[in-house]
């Protein structure tokens, strides 16, 4: 019995999507295997936005340049994107799966850092503090990425924040931004709860560093946020300081929810930040 070639179906409509699809392998009497590292053809057009809110007496502003102009809302660069599964431990090196066995377990990866824009949505925005030092948090009540539970469970939001005091790297799961109770899971890595990182022989597995958005967020849904007990700020700004925030939205290919059921689901990106006096 001859082997069947794989055909990837790719569309070119102006859209942005979180992608997933099938790969089929037929070898002798072996049945088809489902793959989590996939491509997809469907897109949707999205204009990502970001905005800020502040508690009484604070003034956190956002801009697309370190020199402003500043406001409380910014339209991020529109992107025609297809998101493909990748993996990272630190937002500095990214990996794509290159081979899966008949059981659907990924057994090899390649560095795709130089081609990150082919796999993920990324960009940079800037936050400006007020006349007093501010603690900056996420604002969960006004954030969104998708309404689909499967995709929501597979997505990650990465932030690399650079201030006068240094650089902080955050990787967040997106489960807190909706309901993921309907998501299904299937392991596609040799180990549970891992992501791909650089290793002595090229790559290795390391523990998934992603954390919950809720632990770094202020409470509320309107324009006046409230302190959330135990929440940790994503950064602290000195008086009138400007911080750069590099964001990366991607599908974590090692996540057990990053399977074909997540395919062709729309991403509607809205980032939100909140501030309180430090």
Q: Is 153 a domain residue?
A: yes
Q: Is 164 a domain residue?
A: yes
Q: Is 31 a domain residue?
A: yes
Side-chain-side CA neighbours of residue 115 (13 Å): 11
Structure tokens at 81: 């994107």
CA distance 10 to 68: 38
> Looking at residue 83, what is its pLDDT?
84
> Looking at residue 267, what is its pLDDT?
78
Q: Is 4 a domain residue?
A: no
Whether the predicted model's global pTM rises above the 0.85 cut: no
Tell me which residue range forms the domain holding 245. Answer: 17-277
Structure tokens at 193: 């709860």
Q: In Å, what is the CA distance from 80 to each residue of 84, 122, 262? A: 13, 12, 19
Q: Is 206 a domain residue?
A: yes
DSSP 78-113: PB--EE-EEB-SSSSS-EEEEEE-TTS-EEEEEE-G
Q: Is 122 a domain residue?
A: yes
Structure tokens at 232: 């940790």
DSSP 51: E
> Looking at residue 7, what is its pLDDT?
39
Q: Is 8 a domain residue?
A: no
- Cα-Cα-Cα-Cα torsion 130, 134, 136, 142, nearest 10 degrees, comes to -60
Q: Is 185 a domain residue?
A: yes
> Looking at residue 9, what is its pLDDT?
37
CA-only gyration radius of the chain, Å: 20
> Looking at residue 2, what is its pLDDT?
45
- Please list the pLDDT of the chain residue by residue as tens digits (278 residues): 444 443 343 333 333 333 322 222 222 222 222 333 343 323 333 446 767 776 666 789 999 999 999 988 888 876 667 788 999 999 999 999 999 888 889 999 999 999 999 888 899 999 999 888 999 999 999 998 888 899 899 999 999 999 999 999 999 999 999 999 989 989 889 999 999 999 998 999 999 999 999 999 999 888 888 999 999 999 999 999 999 999 999 999 999 998 876 666 777 788 999 999 88
End-to-end CA distance of the chain: 69
User: Domain total for the chain?
Assistant: 1
Torsions phi, psi for 243 (to 5 deg): -115, 140
């Amino acid at each position: 019995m001859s082997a069947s070639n794989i055909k990837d179906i790719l569309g070119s409509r102006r859209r942005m999507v979180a992608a997933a699809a099938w790969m089929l392998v037929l070898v002798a009497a072996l049945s088809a295997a489902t793959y989590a590292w996939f491509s997809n053809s469907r897109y949707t057009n999205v204009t990502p936005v970001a905005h800020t809110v502040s508690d009484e007496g604070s003034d956190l502003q956002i801009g697309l340049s370190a020199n402003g102009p500043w406001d409380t809302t910014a339209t991020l660069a529109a992107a025609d994107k297809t998101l493909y599964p990748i993996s990272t431990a630190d937002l500095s090196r990214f990996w794509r799966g290159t081979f899966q066995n008949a059981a659907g377990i990924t057994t090899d990866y390649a560095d795709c850092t130089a081609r990150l824009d082919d796999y993920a949505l990324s960009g940079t925005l800037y936050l400006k503090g007020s006349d007093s030092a501010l603690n900056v948090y996420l604002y969960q009540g006004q954030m969104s990425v998708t309404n689909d539970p499967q995709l929501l469970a597979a997505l990650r939001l990465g932030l690399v924040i650079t201030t006068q005091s240094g650089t902080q790297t955050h990787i967040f799961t997106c489960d807190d931004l909706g309901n993921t109770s309907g998501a299904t899971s299937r392991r596609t890595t040799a180990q549970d709860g891992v992501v791909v990182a650089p290793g002595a022989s090229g790559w290795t597995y390391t523990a998934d560093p992603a954390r919950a958005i809720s632990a770094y967020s202020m409470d509320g849904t309107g324009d006046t946020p409230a302190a959330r007990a135990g929440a940790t700020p994503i950064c602290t700004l000195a008086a009138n300081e400007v911080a750069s925030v590099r964001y990366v939205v991607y599908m974590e290919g090692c996540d057990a929810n990053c399977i074909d059921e997540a395919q062709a689901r729309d991403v509607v990106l809205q980032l939100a930040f909140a501030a309180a006096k430090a």
